[in-house]
Structure 1
Amino acid sequence: MRPFKFTAADSLNTAIGIRTKNPEAAFLGGGTNLLDLMKEHVALPNEIIDLGKLNLKTIKATPTGISLGALAKNTETANHPLVRKDFPLLSKAILAGASAQIRNMATNGGNLLQRTRCSYFYDISMPCNKRVPGSGCSAIEGFNRMHAIFGWSEQCVAVYPSDMAIALSALDATVKVMQTNFSERSILMKDFHILPENHPEIDNSLKHGELITSIEIPKNNLASHSAYIKVRDRNSYAFALVSVAAGLNLNGNIIQSAHIAMGGVAHKPWRAIQAEQVLKGKPATLANFTKAAEAEMSAARALSHNQFKIEMGKKTLINALEMALNG
């Protein structure tokens, strides 16, 4: 591990000021992703700015929904009474992630900021455009079973690993960010993470020095009809092959709106817009769920080792909608 300076920030302004001045500094929340990358010599910050003393841990109801502090732990968030009651989809998704030990340490903001990555990203002996822009993508012609079927480019085919972010995408969350001039801006979840295109080294729309302060979720009518399904190789500490967060806003048996996002399939949480459009105004039936899944998966492009993900995605999407319908 590269030697680094450690600074415990005593205020939001201090933390942002230090990182703004130092392009090689990194924020430390729970550290569950950053420290792994540092130990593997993938991330090489020369200064760590600990955020643990900042007052960004509050989870509270707001007039428009709920606010999740960026430094609140994943476990605290998943088990918070307001989250379990009004946003059970988020609770289910968080509890499907990683392991209990990691959820106890990982923060909400850090969860969103974890790197989109694959095994080649960790192997510093192999080319990786995310790690060294312009060096090439080893996964394109390599072993790409876990990789993307939507939105990938010749530069990168890795998939975004968070479960929490998939639910937040389906729930139309907004990320609140403190800018380097100490003013606040809001980023819709659909715009927060970025597809690789020609710059896979850029995972999200934050600028250097900016800091997530909270995640805001608007009120909705999805609590009684939501589900999260994660298909993976083992039950704990494994990324999704395919995951689906689904919520249905129903009037009787008619779908007023569907909120669907997929994980394990793209460089960012993949909002299933085609499926949502097919379902709007339609009866909540297996036939319509199937049509929606087929419409969404029709745009998928498989790599050499992940053709199975297309059929898996279709079936998982159908199952998640059925589970959401049945509450």
Structure 2
Amino acid sequence: MDAISYQRAADVNGAIAAAQRPGAVFIGGGTNLLDLMKGGVAHPVMLIDITRIETLDQVETLPNGGLRIGALVRNSDAANHTLVRTRYPLLSQALLAGASPQLRNMATVGGNLMQRTRCPYFYDTAFTQCNKRAPGSGCAAVGGFNRMHAILGASAQCVAVNPSDMSVALAALDATVQVSGPRGARSIPFASFHRLPGDRPELDTTLQSGELITSVDLPPPLFSEHSHYLKIRDRASYAFALVSVASALQLDGHRIRTARIALGGIAHRPWRASVAEQHLAGKTLNESTLREAAAAELAQARPLSGNAFKVGLAQRAIIRSTMLAAAGTQGQTTGEVA
């Protein structure tokens, strides 16, 4: 058993100061970190408990009309918050599609952003080939069981996917991640927060050493009337996405003024479907136009031996999610079984 020390931080500055010790990590809900520790994947030498920092557990309206969600807000509280449900229903749907009620009651918004891939080769230390866990060792998934793995943005070093539902919605909504660290505070556009694997797959995000997520900021609501989160999975609950799609629209009648689409389950980070978005802008909303946009987005897919089905599945999911978004946000469900 590893020796681990524990420290409870009273404020953000105290947490950041404690994190300068090598091997120190922040812990909030712990729903992912503790699993990694029990499995021998993570080996922190110090846990810095940030759950008593009161300034991080608030939801507040920003001066520009947007919304700030503190890093310690529980996933269940964020999903059911009145301002989230009414102004950002896409985010509420995505949060409710993730994990189980018990886990959502513990997991935090900041921790959700930091959760690591569920690739079985990463989680099982009996497999020695995992560049994410042991850089330079290889990627067993490339030639192994890769049904759940990436079809976009992967590299020869890693084909794992990001597991977060919440992050797919945040990508579509153009959120901003606020962080504080030893060099001060900074804002990270959501599109720049998670990384593609490249030749450094062990790095999931662009956070710098010792930085702490303090909040997620949402811009003023533009898509409260027309958005939908679609999650396609092997079973109806407590399953990670084969493919998921967050769609958000601004419509002028049947004309698409603005489209925001992000995909999950297909890449190392939430995949912003910019090609499809550009294809749809200014077009009349119909299935033919959506089919063309989805095909253009997935033209760059590079499936593996076990997941070629994801290409067609992702295209159909884009069409269905966007059509459901156009129909309106009332009475929508959050997932389908493959």
Give your verdict on TM over 0.5: yes
Instruction: Please say if residues 77 and 91 of structure 1, whose CA atoms lie closer than 8 Å, have aligned partners that are also in contact.
Output: yes
The alignment partner of 2:19 has SS state of: helix
| AA matched with 2:11 | S
The structural deviation recorded for 1:23 is 1.9
Shift, 1:155, TM fit: 0.4
Structure 1 residue 260 displacement after superposition: 0.3
Which stretches of structure 1, 4 residues or more, deviate above 4 A after TM superposition? none
Task: Please say which of residues 94-103 and 108-117 is displaced more in the overlay.
Answer: 108-117
- Offset of residue 63 of structure 1: 2.1
Asked whether the equivalents of residues 29 and 106 of structure 1 are also in contact (C-alpha less than 8 Å), the reply is yes
Name the SS of the counterpart of 1:284 in structure 2. Answer: coil
Which residue does 1:72 correspond to in 2? 73
* Cα distance, 1:284 vs structure 2: 1.2
Please, which of 132, 137, 140 is the counterpart of residue 138 of structure 1? 140
What is the aligned partner in structure 1 of residue 48 from structure 2?
49
Contact 1:147 1:158 in 2 (8 A): yes
Task: Give, in angstroms, the shift of residue 217 of structure 1.
Answer: 0.4
Deviation, 1:235, is 1.5
Whole-angstrom CA distance in 2 between matches of 1:295 and 1:301 = 14
CA-atom RMSD in angstroms:
0.8
Structure 2, gaps ≥5 residues long:
329-338
- 1:4 is aligned to 4
The reply to whether residue 218 of structure 1 matches residue 219 of structure 2 is yes
Question: Counterpart in 2 of 1:160?
Answer: 162
CA distance in 1: counterparts of 2:196 and 2:209, whole angstroms? 18
Q: Would you say the 8 A contact 1:242–1:316 is kept in 2?
A: yes
| 2: CA distance, partners of 1:160 / 1:259 | 19
Q: Partners in 2 of 1:277 and 1:139 — Cα distance?
A: 33
1:33-62 deviations in whole A, cap 9, x for unaligned? 000000001000011000011120000111
Measure the CA separation in 1 of the matches of 2:26 and 2:238: 24
Distance 1:172 1:221 in 2: 11
Separation in 2, partners of 1:63, 1:88? 21
SS at match of 1:139: coil
- What whole-Å deviation, never above 9, does each CA across 1:225-280 have from its counterpart, x for those lacking one? 10000000112211100000000011122111100000000000000001000000
Aligned partners of 1:187 and 1:134: how far apart in 2? Answer: 29
The letter of the residue matching 1:256 is R
Instruction: Establish whether residue 310 from structure 1 lines up as the match of residue 311 from structure 2.
Output: yes
Aligned identity (percent) is 54
1:141-163 Cα offsets, whole Å, 9 max, x none, are: 00000000000001000000000
1:129 to 105, 128, 131: 131
Deviations 1:287-313 (A, max 9, x none): 111111111111111000000000000
Write the letter of the residue equivalent to 2:241: A
- Structure 2 matches for 1:1-327, cutoff 5 A? 1-20=1-20, 22-55=21-54, 56-64=56-64, 65-126=66-127, 127-181=129-183, 183-327=184-328
Q: What is the TM-score when the length of structure 1 is the normalising length? A: 0.98
Report deviation, 1:184.
1.2
Alpha-carbon distance between aligned partners in 2 of 1:47 and 1:135, rounded to the nearest angstrom: 27
1:130 deviation in Å? 0.4
Cα distance in 2 between the residues matched to 1:61 and 1:285: 35
What SS does the aligned partner of 1:238 have? coil
**Structure 2 CA distance for aligned equivalents of residues 325 and 2 of structure 1:** 52
Q: Quote the offset at 1:116 in angstroms.
A: 2.7
Aligned counterparts of 2:22 and 2:89: Cα–Cα separation in 1? 39
| C-alpha separation in 1, matches of 2:218 and 2:34 | 29
Structure 1 residue 80: deviation in Å? Answer: 0.2
Cα deviation for residue 123 of structure 1 reads 1.2
| 2: CA distance, partners of 1:180 / 1:252 | 50
Deviation at 1:221, TM superposition (A): 2.1
Q: Distance in 1 between matches of 2:80 and 2:278?
A: 32
The residue type paired with residue 309 of structure 2 is: F
Kindly state the Cα deviation for residue 3 of structure 1 after the two structures are TM-superposed: 2.3
Q: Distance in 2 between matches of 1:117 and 1:95?
A: 19
Of 216-225 and 198-207, more deviation after overlay is shown by 216-225
57-66 or 77-86: which moved more? 57-66
The alpha-carbon deviation at position 90 of structure 1 amounts to 0.1
What is the letter of the counterpart of residue 6 of structure 2? F
Query: C-alpha separation between the residues in 2 aligned to 1:280 and 1:231?
Result: 26
**Alignment partner, residue 335 of structure 2:** none
